[in-house]
Amino acid sequence: MSSRAVIEEISADEILDSRGNPTVEVSVTLSSGVTVNASVPSGASTGEFEAVELRDRDPKRYGGKGVLCAVKHVNEEVAWALTGMRVDDQRLIDEKLIETDGSESKKVLGANAILGASLACAKAGAAESGLPLFRYLGGANAHVLPVPMFNVLNGGKHGQGGPDVQEFKLVPLGAPTFREALRYGAETYHALGAVLVDAGLSTNVGDEGGYVPQLPSNEAALELILRAIERAGYRPGEDIAIGIDPAANSFYEDGRYCLVRDSKTLTTDEMIAFWADWVNRYPLVSLEDPLADGDWAGFATLTRELGSRVQIVGDDLFVTNRKFLQRGIDEHCCNSILIKLNQIGTVTETLDTAQLALSAGYSCLVSHRSGETEDTSIADLAVALGCGQIKSGAPARGERVAKYNRLLAIERALGEDARFAGRDAFRHLRRS
Ligand code: PGA
Ligand code: ZN
């Protein structure tokens, strides 16, 4: 083991993500001989201020979605900048990447090129020091397994023909361990499949592995999920609660929220009242992007009205960016932040944002993207942060399950030291 290892070679390749779109894979080789890969996910319902994912825009390849330019940036500028640097100084590596890019939005090299390099270096640093990634990033005290949020019913941009609400998630916060939480989730996912078959509805799945039934209303999804929880033998709210991500940007048009499934067009105040009604009548513990991302005043009102009873998560609103999070803290918008590495583009900036959130009393929900790869780093990141929450889609589809299986391995490796976050992950549910 030597902490003196330097980056000897860094290169990239164009691979496919889970939707069949190109994405970046980066390989780092150290002077010690250690070689690791990291790959980058890609969103569909993206926030306006996310770091820029560079695409070739060559209509003759992958409909313009090729990433050969980002690959080239890794093979050239990034390799020139990082070769010879010590691998164990992640902050310096990330600063070098940011400086080499030189733009606020990482549009020059591409956030996909930059994150691939940053993450591969972190993984190489971990491998070099003989530590699992969660311990390398999180230190000696990293031991909390997150509550998984299983996106079992998909709509919006991830499930055409489904509800307007993008994600309906099972939150097995009453489970005693992560392993049991995974079982609660998988059993209930299958029970939901049976409920849909009984109702004569489709069990086709969307981008994140959840079913995409055609329903008469958004609320009908909640009723089906409650039925599935009970059918699987669990108590709604006690064993398994519900989380939703409406991704409200995707149905916000000309200043109004257009819920096609409900034949409703709502103002911000009416949209807030709509969610308040759901919070009153269903065991909802987490509400993500309930309003469009420019609506800071609306978020402040909603947080004032509902923030003591439900977790309100800013995803497109904060885009894992300290600057936007700080505004949210100052203006009392949300009480939780979604953490996505590729929204900001480097590992240390992600850690900084999460740190700021936790120190301000916000919870952190570590997240996959709708376009994923087999890379399981987010599982380690969730344990490293000790934040107690992760979402990685349904307990189905290889790229989703890979993260949950990685968490099983981490829980096994921690043995007696492992602690499952359970209800404590949600501030408003803590029994003091
Ligand atoms: P995306 O969706 O990866 O398509 O952005 C995930 C989310 O909105 O949380
Ligand atoms: Zn979201």
The type of residue at 271 is M
Whether 240 and 327 map to the same domain: the answer is yes
Residue range 102-116, pLDDT digits in tens: 999 999 999 999 999
Instruction: Give the Cα separation of 129 and 86 in Å (integer).
Output: 12
Task: Check whether 2 has a pLDDT greater than 90.
Answer: no
Whether 80 is in a domain gets the answer: yes
**Ligand 1 atom at shortest distance from the alpha carbon of 207:** 4
Decide if 369 contacts 127 (C-beta within 8 A).
no
Residue range 353-408, pLDDT digits in tens: 999 999 999 999 999 999 999 999 999 999 999 999 999 999 999 999 999 999 99
Q: Is 169 known as a binding-site position?
A: no
What pLDDT, on a 0 to 100 scale, did the predictor assign at position 324? 98
Ligand 1 pocket test: which of 370, 373, 392 has the largest number of ligand atoms within 8 Å of its C-beta? 370
Q: Is 158 known as a binding-site position?
A: yes
What pLDDT, on a 0 to 100 scale, did the predictor assign at position 431? 65
Task: Give, rounded to a whole angstrom, the gap between the first and last alpha carbons of the chain.
Answer: 44
Whether 87 and 224 map to the same domain: the answer is no
User: What pairs with residue 15 in β-bridges?
Assistant: 23
What pLDDT, on a 0 to 100 scale, did the predictor assign at position 274? 98
Q: Is 315 known as a binding-site position?
A: yes
Whether 118 and 264 map to the same domain: the answer is no
Whether 2 is in a domain gets the answer: no
**From the centroid of its chain, how far is CA 361?**
19
Catalytic residue among 53, 340, 403, 411: 340
CATH of the domain at 249: 3.20.20.120
Whether 356 and 412 map to the same domain: the answer is yes
Whether 139 is in a domain gets the answer: no
What pLDDT, on a 0 to 100 scale, did the predictor assign at position 4? 85
CA–centroid distance, 289 to ligand 2, in Å, is: 6
Residue after which a domain boundary falls, among 101, 130, 159:
130
CA–centroid distance, 44 to ligand 1, in Å, is: 6
Whether 403 is a known active-site residue: answer no
Residue range 115-141, pLDDT digits in tens: 999 999 999 999 999 999 999 999 999
* Confidence label for 412 from pLDDT (cuts 50, 70 and 90): very high
Ligand nearest to the CA of 340: 1
Q: Show the tokens assigned to 44.
A: 């569909």
Torsion over CA: 198, 237, 219, 288 (sign): negative
CA-CA distances (angstroms) from residue 108 to 48, 62, 111, 240, 319? 17, 21, 8, 44, 19
Instruction: Give the Cα separation of 82 and 77 in Å (integer).
Output: 9
Residue after which a domain boundary falls, among 130, 152, 170:
130
Whether 237 is in a domain gets the answer: yes
Whether 229 and 339 map to the same domain: the answer is yes
Whether 42 is in a domain gets the answer: yes
Residue range 330-344, pLDDT digits in tens: 999 999 999 999 999
Task: Kindly list the protein residues whose Cβ atom lies closer than 6 A to any atom of ligand 1.
Answer: 43-46, 245, 247, 315, 367, 369-370
Whether 135 is in a domain gets the answer: no
Decide if 370 contacts 208 (C-beta within 8 A).
yes
Residue range 253-306, pLDDT digits in tens: 999 999 999 999 999 999 999 999 999 999 999 999 999 999 999 999 999 999
* 296-306 and 322-330 helices, crossing angle to 10°: 60
For ligand 1, atom 1: residue with the closest CA: 43
**For residue 189, which of 216, 211, 212 has the smallest C-alpha distance?**
211
Whether 116 and 160 map to the same domain: the answer is no
Catalytic residue among 14, 50, 53, 208: 208
Whether 88 and 175 map to the same domain: the answer is no
Ligand nearest to the CA of 315: 2
Q: Compute φ and ψ for 28, nearest 5 degrees.
A: -120, 130
Q: What is the mean pLDDT of the chain?
A: 97
What pLDDT, on a 0 to 100 scale, did the predictor assign at position 430? 81
**Ligand 1 atom at shortest distance from the alpha carbon of 371:** 3
The residues, any chain, with a CB within 8 Å of residue 16's CB and separated by 6 or more, are 22, 23
Instruction: Give the Cα separation of 87 and 91 in Å (integer).
Output: 10
Decide if 225 contacts 152 (C-beta within 8 A).
yes
Whether 264 and 402 map to the same domain: the answer is yes
**For residue 362, which of 276, 420, 427, 292 has the smallest C-alpha distance?**
427
Q: Show the tokens assigned to 67.
A: 């990433």
Q: Is 308 known as a binding-site position?
A: no
Ligand nearest to the CA of 155: 1
Whether 190 and 316 map to the same domain: the answer is yes
Residue range 20-62, pLDDT digits in tens: 999 999 999 999 999 999 999 999 999 999 999 999 999 999 9
- Judged by DSSP in three states, 324 sits in helix
Instruction: Give the Cα separation of 148 and 128 in Å (integer).
Output: 29
Q: Show the tokens assigned to 230.
A: 């009970």
Ligand 1 pocket test: which of 19, 40, 45, 151 has the largest number of ligand atoms within 8 Å of its C-beta? 45
Q: Show the tokens assigned to 1.
A: 């083991």
Task: Check whether 1 has a pLDDT greater than 80.
Answer: no
What pLDDT, on a 0 to 100 scale, did the predictor assign at position 92? 98
Whether 238 and 265 map to the same domain: the answer is yes
Residue after which a domain boundary falls, among 76, 98, 130:
130
**For residue 378, which of 129, 55, 62, 39 has the smallest C-alpha distance?**
39
Whether 1 is in a domain gets the answer: no
**For residue 340, which of 368, 318, 362 has the smallest C-alpha distance?**
368
CATH of the domain at 15: 3.30.390.10
User: What pairs with residue 103 in β-bridges?
Assistant: none
In this structure, the chain runs to a length of 432
Whether 107 is a known active-site residue: answer no
- Judged by DSSP in three states, 39 sits in strand
Whether 117 and 165 map to the same domain: the answer is no
Instruction: Give the Cα separation of 2 and 241 in Å (integer).
Output: 46
CA–centroid distance, 189 to ligand 2, in Å, is: 20
Q: Compute φ and ψ for 264, nearest 5 degrees.
A: -130, 140
Whether 93 and 151 map to the same domain: the answer is no
Quote the number of domains for the chain. Answer: 2
Q: Is 367 known as a binding-site position?
A: yes
Residue range 137-169, pLDDT digits in tens: 999 999 999 999 999 999 999 999 999 999 999
Question: Whole domain around residue 111: which residue ranges?
Answer: 7-130
Whether 136 is in a domain gets the answer: no
